[in-house]
Structure formats: C-alpha cells, structure tokens
Amino acid sequence: MPAATAAYFRVEGVLVGRRGLSCAAWMAARQHDLVGRLGRLGVALAAAPVGAAGDPLTATRLAWRALKDCTEDRLVVLAAQYWDDRVERAWNPAGVALLERCRAQGDRIVLLSEHPEAVIGPIRGRLGADELVCNHLELASGRLTGRLLDPVFAGVTDGSWVREHARRHGLDPARSRAYGTARADATLLSGVGLPCAVTPDLPLRRLAATFDWPVVEARPES
C-alpha cells in the first residue's frame, strides 16, 4: 500500500487575506494604556520594512514585541475580536475550495500560519484541518513577555521541513501537495511533488513559470 499524502496550505494569502504583522499592529493599537499605545503601534509597524528588506524572522519577532505586558485576559478578548472582524471576513473562496478538494481525496490537511495560536487557533476546526503549525506567544504570570516561543514560523519553511514532517507522519512528499502565495513559500513548494502557486506575488510567479508549477488566480472576499 502506498504511503499517505498531505496537502500543505500557507494560511496567509492562500486561505485568508491577512498577514501576521498586520494582526500585531491591530492588537497594539487596541491596548488599554493610552500613553504607551502609540509606542506599541510604532514597534509593530517598524516590523514591516524589516520584513520587506528580507528578514521575515526578525520582523515577526519584532512585531509581537509590541504586545509586551498585555494581559492574558486582554489577549483573549482581542484575539476573538480579530477573528470575527478580520479573519472571518477575509476568506479566499478559491483557496478554501482547494482545501476541501484535498480533504475529499484523503490528503492530510496541514495549515502553516505566521499568526499566533491565540488568534489563528480556531481555523483548524473551522476548516476541518488535521494539523496547524503556527506561532505561540510566551506568557509569564498572566502577561505576554513580548517574545514568541521557538521555533518561530516566519513564512519560510524549506523542503527539508516538509520531508521531515512527512517522515514523522508516514507521508509521501513526492505525491503530496503544497499551496503558497509569496516568494518565501517557494522552498515549501519545492519540497513536494505537486506544488501550486495561488495568486502569487511577482517573484513566486516567475519561479512558477521557470519550474512549470501550476498557478491558481484567486482573491479574498475582502
């Protein structure tokens, strides 16, 4: 009997039209301490140019530093609001349809997200996924420390990660699928036998043309 297969979906861009850095800024702008709010927001916004300069790991760590000292109770409230206001209104119908097709044919559904579990956790049940790989915010004495727990997912997952994940779960990467939308997803796509670029940015579009990867054009609902 051949090994089972998986379908790896990058949440941001493929399934939801929201980025993790935007979430950090949104939460920073809604902290109770009025004096420090602008400073927190400034820290979160400073992460964007760092990511654009080619260092998504540092950008991701920096963005969530803006929530240092946020209480766990406040995090729960903001996470629920963000899910209702931003995630539930930003589904990519074409991406969700691809996921449903993969699930119907028996693939193990693995979601990869740069958002923290406190925010994106409900997506696993919402989409009926088997696994969610995402970030986790560090808490100490009921408050955020401003740090993410290792390992930090910052949008770059290489082919070796996929192969190791497949080995641990008895999957066949050569017959598995992966869906990404940005240049950072290229190494993820290269780790499987059936890659697909979904509304790719220009660098990924060029790579898809070079390697003859299929391209699906789709846009989020909002």
CATH number at residue 185: 3.40.50.1000
Residue 166 inside a domain? The answer is yes
The alpha-helical segments, DSSP class H, found in 66-158 are 72-82, 93-104, 117-120, 123-127
Residue 222 inside a domain? The answer is no
Residue 140 inside a domain? The answer is yes
Residue 184 inside a domain? The answer is yes
Residue 37 inside a domain? The answer is yes
Q: Please state the rounded mean pLDDT for residues 175-191.
A: 91
DSSP 4-68: B-EEEEEIIIIIBS--HHHHHHHHHTT-S-HHHHHHHHHHHHHHHHHHHTT-HHHHHHHHHHTTT
pLDDT of residue 157: 66
pLDDT of residue 205: 95
Q: Is the pLDDT of residue 39 over 70?
A: no
Q: Which domain holds residue 137?
A: 6-216
Q: What is the pLDDT of residues 72-102, one digit of tens each?
A: 999 999 999 999 999 998 999 999 999 999 9
Residue 34 inside a domain? The answer is yes
Q: What is the pLDDT of residues 130-148, one digit of tens each?
A: 999 999 999 999 999 999 9
- What's the number of domains the chain is made of? 1
pLDDT band at 46 (very low <50, low <70, confident <90, very high): low
Residue 221 inside a domain? The answer is no
pLDDT of residue 220: 55
Residue 1 inside a domain? The answer is no
Q: Is the pLDDT of residue 218 over 60?
A: yes
Q: Is the pLDDT of residue 35 over 90?
A: no
Q: How far apart are the first and last CA of the chain?
A: 43
